[in-house]
Amino acid sequence: MHSVHLHYTLSHRNDAESHVSPEATLLSHPLMALLKAVAEQGSISAAARQMDLSYRHVWGELKRWEEVLGHELIIWEKGQSARLTEFGDKLMWAERLTQARLAPQLEALRADLERTFAVAFDPEAHVLTLYASHDDALPRLREQAASSGLHLDIRFCGSVDAIRALNEGRCTLAGFHTQVQPHQDSHTAQAYRDLLQPGLHKIIGFATRTQGLMTASGNPKQLHNLTDVAISRAIFVQRSPGTGTRVLLDDLLAKDQLTNADLNNWPDEEPSHTALAEAIASGRCDVGLGIESTARARGLGFVPLVQEQFHLVCLKSALDTPATQALRDLLQDATWHAALNTLPGYQAQDSGQVQSLRQQLPWWTFKRAKKTS
């Protein structure tokens, strides 16, 4: 088997329209164009003239492709018309069949690529890359932002990984969540303290949301807290390590004087609230920690345990860029607040407001320098 690699080109629309013939294919390959020209013209020199290329170039390319593919492509004898070999004919047949079969999909792909790249050429459009903990509100924000020319490139991952991506320059914003005013000795503080630095990072308010126990519909095991979960030996499904919900669970367990070992954990961990909800809905597990909106959407039972803040964080240097400012303006818009508040467990709070890192996450202590006499 030979591998296939797809390519595309960019050109000015007027320039492209002036050079594309009606019979041009949506997906082209330079070798196929050479073979087609030789087959039509009956000679390499005529094919070269048709394509506005030199004879040496066409001849060299044909020989190069013969070496790459391991088959002869052209039969050419002095005094005779050049023609394709049987293998060359089969290549042309494969090209025609591919174009016929894939034309609708190729046209859809081309149109999608044009729409996407149009953003790059639009001086009024902005693109923000956001790595964030899984959240039900962010896809809605992406939809609303797109209508105003702000394109959010959202990659869902764990909260810890999201902040690391920000610090490594792989994104402009990171989304993570914590309890309100986490204690300086909490698991939350241990997870995020070394990743965030006052003066370097800036927090932008996003929303509050409710986390709690996702259970089967009707809560048949009557689970009302983590102590109930531990005592009943209900099968508990965990989120993946590094997620904000896993960090939150450790803090909630500590509050109830429990540890992870006290839970009857399912061996597989789930990467998102949606996957966790599916594990419970399918009957594989009895309970897990997740957000209210996902539980309600899946028809599961839900027992609220804690209100938490979902934060957006960026580097101070990115705070006043046009793209970040456009997002802050959108987050403060009443239309967005109304859309967010329709999600179960969510509430717009300080949305779009730049907040003090030390006040929201009061973990850092700085000794005052001693005065010298």
Hey, where are the domains in the chain?
Answer: 24-110, 126-360
Inform me whether the pLDDT recorded for 109 exceeds 70: yes
- Taking the C-alpha atoms of residue 145 and residue 224, their distance in angstroms, rounded to an integer, is 38
Distances 255 to 186, 211, 250, 258 between C-alpha atoms, Å: 10, 15, 9, 7
Inform me whether the pLDDT recorded for 25 exceeds 60: no
125's tokens: 């459009």
CATH architecture of the region 126-360: 3-Layer(aba) Sandwich (3.40)
pLDDT, tens digit, 9 for 90 and up, residues 190-244: 999 999 999 999 999 999 999 999 999 999 999 999 999 999 999 999 999 999 9
Q: Which residue in the block uniquely carries the two structure tokens 């793209």?
A: 323
Cβ count near 260 (within 10 Å): 12
Closest by Cα among 310, 282, 311 to 214: 282
Inform me whether the pLDDT recorded for 1 exceeds 70: no
Closest by Cα among 288, 312, 302, 311 to 345: 302
Inform me whether the pLDDT recorded for 356 exceeds 80: yes
The pLDDT mean for the chain works out to 89
Can you give the pLDDT at residue 167?
97
Give me the mean pLDDT over the 92-108 stretch: 83
Pairing of the two strands 83-84 and 74-75: antiparallel
Can you give the pLDDT at residue 23?
43
Inform me whether the pLDDT recorded for 352 exceeds 50: yes
Inform me whether the pLDDT recorded for 16 exceeds 50: no
Type of residue numbered 232: S
Inform me whether the pLDDT recorded for 69 exceeds 60: yes
Query: Which helix (H) or strand (E) element contains residue 175?
Result: strand 173-179
Inform me whether the pLDDT recorded for 17 exceeds 70: no
- Taking the C-alpha atoms of residue 336 and residue 143, their distance in angstroms, rounded to an integer, is 11
What pTM, to 2 d.p., does this model score? Answer: 0.73
Can you give the pLDDT at residue 13?
59
Inform me whether the pLDDT recorded for 22 exceeds 70: no
Inform me whether the pLDDT recorded for 366 exceeds 60: no
More confident residue, 362 or 163: 163
Can you give the pLDDT at residue 123?
83
What letters, b where the CB count within 10 A reaches 16 and e where it falls short, cover 274-309?
bbbbbbbbeeebbbbbbbbbbbbebebbbbebeebb
Closest by Cα among 190, 187, 177, 178 to 134: 177
Can you give the pLDDT at residue 323?
93
Can you give the pLDDT at residue 14?
56
Q: What is the dihedral of CA 155, 157, 159, 163, to 10 degrees?
A: -50
312's tokens: 């957006």
Inform me whether the pLDDT recorded for 15 exceeds 60: no
The SS3 call for residue 45 is helix
pLDDT, tens digit, 9 for 90 and up, residues 282-339: 999 999 999 999 999 999 999 999 999 999 999 999 999 999 999 999 999 999 999 9
The class that CATH gives domain 24-110 is mainly alpha
pLDDT, tens digit, 9 for 90 and up, residues 290-306: 999 999 999 999 999 99
Can you give the pLDDT at residue 198?
92
